[in-house]
Amino acid sequence: MSIRPNKVKQRLAAGQVATILSGTNDPDLIDQLGPLGADGIWLEGEHGGVDFADLGNLTRACDLWGVTSVVRVMDNDYATIYRTLDRGAQGIVVPHVNTGAEARAVVEAAKFAPLGKRGMFTSRQGFGVGDYLKTANDQSLLIVLIEDIAAVNNLDEILRVDHIDVFFVAPNDMATSMGHIGNMGHPDVQKTVDGAIARIVQAGRTAGTLVSSANVEDYTRQGVRCIMTSFFPWIQTGAKDLIDRAAAGAGGR
C-alpha cells in the first residue's frame, strides 16, 4: 500500500496554483465542500476549535475526497507539530516564523530523520504503508507564515531553509506588526506584502497568501502559487443577494 498523495504538493510541484479553502472544522461540511475541487482544506488550530481529538475524523474526511488536510497549529512547538502530523494531517501551517532558526525548527519537528527530529511513530496516514518514514517526509507539506515585519526583515535567511514548501505572507498580522491594526489594505502594508511575495518568487521559492475574489488574479499574476480563501464571503454574498431579490420580487418589505 502506498501513502496517500498530497494534492497540494503535487500541484505546486507542477507549477500550478494550489487552492486551499478555510472556514470549516466539521467533517460533514468537508464532505459538502469535496465536490468543489479545491486542493486542500485549512483546519484552524490557532484561532479555531481544532484539537487533537478532532483531527482523526477531520483529516479522514479530507482523505475521502483526495484533498490535503492543512492544519494551522497554535505555535512553533516541536510536540504540537509532530503530534498534529501523527493524528493524520498532511500539511502543517506554523504561525509567526520570524527567523531562519525558527524555520529550521519547523523542519526538525515535521520531518523524520535524517531530515529532522520528528518522533518515530507511524501516524494514521502510515497504517499499511511499508516505507512510511521516507514517503512521509516526501509527502508532508510545510507552510510557514510570514506575518510580522520582523520576518520580512529576516526573509533572506528564512528563504535559505530547505524543506519548507510554502512561504505564506499573511496580511492581517503584518498590518498589526506595522502599526496599522485592522487595516491590511493600507498602502504601506500592501507594499510590504507585495514586496515580500516578489522576494520569495525571485528566490525560486513558493509564495502563498490570503486571497479573495477581488484580488486573486492580481496575486497569481505576481507569482503566488498557494492561495487560501475563506468560503464565508461566498455564503454572505449569496445569502444577501437571495434575500434582496426575494424582497424586490415581493415589492419590498
Active-site positions read: 47
Distance CA 199, CA 181 (A): 24
For the chain, state the CA radius of gyration: 19
Residue 27 CB partners (closer than 8 Å, separation 6+): 57, 58, 60, 61
Q: Which residues of 66-85 are buried (b: 16+ CB within 10 A; e: fewer)?
A: ebbbbbbbbebebebbbbbb
C-alpha grid cell, residue 232: 464565508
Angle between helices 78-86 and 100-110 (to 10 degrees): 40
Distance CA 189, CA 187 (A): 5
